[in-house]
């Protein structure tokens, strides 16, 4: 064989190897690549929440759209292509959280009738906790608490509803509907055994003398819920526990995500905070610390 032929074959093999390496890098890198400075996640969440209105248009997604969303969000969480989410109207970005230094992926759809939510994935670890905010701009500041809990537990996914609770004659109340992207994600996580925390708010006068209601939707709290309750009590918070006493209409027994989690035998904590707690950074931080310190991911 001539030296020129051998050289040609060597070059061909080298080019093929380079092409293959580029292809592997393309399909395994988070999509899309950041195009500018990392966003301030607190500002992103605030703008999303402030833009929600009870008179806004809203259409619940159909079955095919919900299935595509769950598949797309799973793919985004492992660094695969996000085209399925964009096809549903979501904007997608990746970046680094300024507060924690951890990488994240963010999918948002809050425009028009397809106001299907904000979903923030911590890419530093496999997803192990779903933090849910079903009533943004209604249960005031629950989205602030949600972001703080997302930051406190690496491997969390934060889900913030894309619609006001009162939108479309109540169709936007994702905590009590099973036809939303929010519920589809919660059901997927429940079936995979991933713990969930759902954040709510109530008026002080609705349950005088109590600051937090912590429930699991059943009479059997389990060790994780008990650890969270103990930590909240140790922090000086007045906590009402439905498995011990009556907590008014704040026990979350009709919550659709809680019902789905119970059916999958998966942990679901329904956390109600009164207005005074949500207005006090010190007090809601104590709630976040208690939930994070309870290590909900080990059941």
pLDDT of res. 178:
97
Greatest CA separation found in the chain?
92
| Cβ-Cβ contacts under 8 Å for 52 (sequence gap 6 or more) | 110, 115, 136, 137, 161, 162, 163, 164, 167
* Helix 181-191, helix 256-263: angle, nearest 10: 20
pLDDT of res. 297:
86
CA angle 45, 231, 264 (to 5 degrees): 70
- Determine the Cα–Cα distance for residues 294 and 104; give it in Å rounded to an integer: 24
User: In this structure, what token pair is assigned to residue 130?
Assistant: 């779903």
pLDDT of res. 33:
53
Q: Which residues pair with 133 in a beta bridge?
A: 160
**pLDDT tens, position by position, for the chain (299 residues)?**
444 444 344 334 343 443 343 333 333 334 445 546 788 999 999 999 999 999 999 999 999 999 999 999 999 999 888 899 999 999 999 999 999 999 999 999 987 899 999 999 999 999 999 999 999 999 999 999 999 999 999 999 999 999 999 999 999 999 999 999 999 999 999 999 999 999 999 999 999 999 999 999 777 889 999 999 999 999 999 999 999 999 999 999 999 999 999 999 999 999 999 999 999 999 999 999 999 999 998 86
Number of H helices, E strands in the chain: 10, 9
- The DSSP line for 94-138 is EEE-TTT--EEEEEEE-STT---EEEEEETTS---EEEEE-STTT
pLDDT of res. 22:
35
pLDDT of res. 219:
75
The label of the residue with tokens 């589809």 reads 184
């Amino acid at each position: 064989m001539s030296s020129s032929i051998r050289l040609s074959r060597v070059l061909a093999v080298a080019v093929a190897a380079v092409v293959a390496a580029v292809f592997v890098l393309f399909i395994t890198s988070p999509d899309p690549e950041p195009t500018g400075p990392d966003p301030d996640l607190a500002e992103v969440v605030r703008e999303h929440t402030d833009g929600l209105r009870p008179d806004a248009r809203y259409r619940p997604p159909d079955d095919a759209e919900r299935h595509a969303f769950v598949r797309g969000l799973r793919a985004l969480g492992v660094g695969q292509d996000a085209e399925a989410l964009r096809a549903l109207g979501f904007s997608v970005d990746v970046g680094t959280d300024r507060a924690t230094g951890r990488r994240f992926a963010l999918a948002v759809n809050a425009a028009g009738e397809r106001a299907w939510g904000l979903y923030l994935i911590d890419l530093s670890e496999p997803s192990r906790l779903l933090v849910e905010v079903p009533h943004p701009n209604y249960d005031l500041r629950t989205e602030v608490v949600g972001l703080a809990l997302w930051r406190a537990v690496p491997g969390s996914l934060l889900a913030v509803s894309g619609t006001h609770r009162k939108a479309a004659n109540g169709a936007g109340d994702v905590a009590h509907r099973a036809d939303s992207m929010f519920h589809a994600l919660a059901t997927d996580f429940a079936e995979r055994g991933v713990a969930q925390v759902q954040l709510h708010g109530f008026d002080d006068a609705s349950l005088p003398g109590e600051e937090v209601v912590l429930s699991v939707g059943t009479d059997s709290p389990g060790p994780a819920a008990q650890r969270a309750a103990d930590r909240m009590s140790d922090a000086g918070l007045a906590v009402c526990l439905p498995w011990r006493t009556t907590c008014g209409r704040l026990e979350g027994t009709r919550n659709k995500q809680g019902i789905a989690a119970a059916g999958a035998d998966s942990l679901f904590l329904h956390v109600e905070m009164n207005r005074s707690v949500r207005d006090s950074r010190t007090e809601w931080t104590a709630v976040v610390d208690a939930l994070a310190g309870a290590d909900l991911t080990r059941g």
